[in-house]
Amino acid sequence: MPYDLKEIAAISGMPGLYRLVRPTRAGVIIESLDERGTRSVASARNKVSLLQEISIYTEDYDQTVPLTEVFDRVYQKYGTNLPLTNKSNDQDLVAFMGEIIPDYDRQRVYLSDIKKLVTWYHAVSNRLEYQEATTDTEDAGTQQEQPAADEALSTAGIIPTEADAAATANPEATDKSA
């Protein structure tokens, strides 16, 4: 995951993006992602949308592209210096979206969504560190999933003998006709 968006949220009624610091009884303590980094409390009445859970519609009705992947594509193409802003020409914004996600759904993704995406990318790329995918951690994860040569695969350490395997598992389910 290039940008860690687990704690970054958009909050209804509040401009900008916020980092969720910790929950309170009345809501959640938030820290703005702007230069000031001011902290405040978002009440439980505000709708909090985590960026990690947001996706962009594609022409395939059942498919979406997660925002983390969209941000990764933007970073791969432009780095942290995205030449567009939310005030850019409408045609430039639509062309930008077509470059990043060629098959995005033009009926369900509005120009306001593209402007919000650009604004959010600027906020995230200025405040969060981009994390390159490392192959070492991926290789370590696959090695842990592989069982050792002398390890039992799925018997939870108990390997039945031939006599146990031939015996009836449930003694109450024995044939009563005998």
Strands (DSSP E) found in the chain: 8-11, 17-23, 27-32, 39-43, 48-50, 55-57, 64-66
Domains with residue ranges and CATH for the chain: 8-51 (2.30.30), 55-127 (1.10.10.1650)
The tens digit of pLDDT for each residue in 53-96 reads 989 999 988 899 998 899 899 988 888 888 888 898 999 999 99
Q: Report pTM.
A: 0.69
The tens digit of pLDDT for each residue in 19-37 reads 988 988 888 888 888 878 8
Helix then strand count (H, E) for the chain reads 5, 7
The tens digit of pLDDT for each residue in 113-166 reads 999 999 988 888 888 777 765 544 454 444 455 555 554 444 444 555 555 555
Residue type, 59: E
Question: In angstroms, rounded to a whole number, what is the distance separating the alpha carbons of residues 2 and 164?
Answer: 52
